[in-house]
Amino acid sequence: MTLLTSWPDSGPATVLRRTCDPAEIAAALKPLGVRYEQWPVREDLPHDADGERVSAAYRPQIDRLSAEEGFTTVDVLGLHPGDDPEYPVRAKAAREKFLQEHTHDDDDEVRFFVSGSGVFYLHVGAEVHAVLCERGDLLGVPRGTTHWFDMGTRPSFTAIRFFHEEDGWIGNFTGSAISSRFPDFDSLAAGHRRDGGTV
């Protein structure tokens, strides 16, 4: 179940909004220019399906969104614990790359969660909005939006990524330490589970 939590950007002591209702989440994010929608989940896909199988399973949705938004490049990114001895190193490096506040000049950041979960933190105006995305969620963060992403200390997710530019992900880091002042993925997910949500 998706979770949206909003705080003042001064810190998380005051919760301005907390909701798991998809319609409320979409309505809250729309004025920020953020696209949020849910796609039907493919139950026949294993959580760690490879990119070719994921792309084939979601081909109608991929083609529709690419036509609507003019995306030229689509890929699949997966990171799951397993038998790979390099997983701890790869997981740590991937998490650290996205965990610092940044923007994108030339592209939106559009992700569909095929499996697993992650949190996008949107720093817009004087507020921070944490969107805990799970399987079936699509989030589109417009270019220029200050944000960061946390996949947790033990990442497990597969996501379809959409790009307008062939260069893919290029971040402009702000140098701010704001991400360290807000609850991380592990804290949000644990609290969400206690409240009856799934992660």
Q: Point out the annotated binding site for Fe(2+).
A: 102, 104, 109, 147
Q: What backbone phi and psi angles, to 5 degrees, belong to 149?
A: -135, 135
Tell me if 155 sits within 8 A of 189, measured CB to CB: no
Residues at the binding site are 102, 104, 109, 147
The helix/strand/coil state of 177 is: coil
For residues 151 and 156, what is the distance between their CA atoms, to the nearest angstrom?
8
- In the numeric block, which tokens belong to residue 180? 């360290």
Please give the torsion angle defined by the CA atoms of residues 117, 54, 43 and 62, in that order, rounded to the nearest 10 degrees: 90
Give the annotated binding-site residues for Ni(2+): 102, 104, 109, 147
Structure tokens at 173: 């880091």
29: region left, alpha or beta (phi > 0 left; psi from -120 to 50 alpha): alpha
Instruction: Return the residue matching tokens 């760690």.
Output: 48
